Chains A and B, each alone.
Chain A
Amino acid sequence: GQQVMQIPQYQHVQEGEDFTTYCNSSTTLSNIQWYKQRPGGHPVFLIQLVKSGEVKKQKRLTFQFGEAKKNSSLHITATQTTDVGTYFCAVEGDTDKLIFGTGTRLQVFP
């Protein structure tokens, strides 16, 4: 079945440093979604990207969809302790249901 890989698996940063997580698929995607899950919490929808090369920003978060629609990235500028959590990308599977990536766990040290 379709698999979605994310790298890195873990990232520890000092508060104020930048952070990027990458999501890669072997197949062309119709769209991609990003979710954030705080420790002990549930996934919370962040954004959906649809167009090739699309770039969207939410305050310090920048989301990008690759030109070939096979990869995506999430970049956080000047991380804060509130950014701690696991970031998942999610794509539509064969049955149009969401397939989640492996996730990147972000730890921010003050």
Chain B
Amino acid sequence: ETGVTQSPTHLIKTRGQQVTLRCSSQSGHNTVSWYQQALGQGPQFIFQYYREEENGRGNFPPRFSGLQFPNYSSELNVNALELDDSALYLCASSLVGQGDTQYFGPGTRLTVL
């Protein structure tokens, strides 16, 4: 186990709603990255947070936003949910200066109806 935890495990929302997903990083790690993994595809980078600031963003609209807290835990917020947002959302923690090896949490399975 990586020590990265995510909550909730599963979530069902309806189109137009908002959702908040949470991630606790591995002890000692200061960087959290969020990925979206649609069924049958590889993870797609959403954004990364380092020391509470966004440190890079993938090709996702502004309705995907995030936060990192002083204890390095993180939240992913998605507003105005669309059907295509249904996916596994993964967070991964890493330590700057230790390469880009990322340790993934178990993910949150989001279903948008």
Residue of A nearest to B90 (CB): A42
Q: Is B16 an interface residue (CB 8 A)?
A: no
In the complex, A48 Cα to B102 Cα: how many Å? 11
**17 pairs, CB–CB < 8 Å, chain A vs chain B:** A33-B101, A41-B106, A42-B90, A42-B105, A43-B90, A45-B101, A45-B102, A45-B104, A48-B99, A96-B56, A97-B58, A98-B43, A99-B45, A100-B35, A102-B41, A102-B42, A103-B42
- Which residues of A are at the interface with B, using a C-beta cutoff of 8 A? 1, 31, 33, 41-45, 48, 88, 92-93, 95-103
Which residues on the A side are within 8 Å of B57 (C-beta)? Answer: 95
Q: How far is the CB of A89 from the nearest CB of chain B, in Å?
A: 9
Which residues on the A side are within 8 Å of B106 (C-beta)? Answer: 41-42
B residues contacting the other copy or chain, number (CB 8 A): 25
Partner of B56, one of A41, A42, A45, A97: A97
The answer to whether B42 and A42 touch across the interface, beta carbons within 8 angstroms, is no
Q: Is B73 an interface residue (CB 8 A)?
A: no
- Which residues of B are at the interface with A, using a C-beta cutoff of 8 A? 2, 33, 35, 41-45, 48, 56-59, 88, 90, 92, 99-107
In the complex, A48 Cα to B94 Cα: how many Å? 14
Q: How far is the CB of A12 from the nearest CB of chain B, in Å?
A: 16
Majority DSSP secondary structure for residues of A touching B: loop
Residue of A nearest to B107 (CB): A42
Which residues on the A side are within 8 Å of B58 (C-beta)? Answer: 97
Partner of B43, one of A43, A44, A92: A43
In the complex, A103 Cα to B48 Cα: how many Å? 22
Which residues on the B side are within 8 Å of A41 (C-beta)? Answer: 106
In the complex, A42 Cα to B42 Cα: how many Å? 11
Q: How far is the CB of A104 from the nearest CB of chain B, in Å?
A: 10
Which of A31, A93, A100 has most chain B Cβ within 10 Å? A100
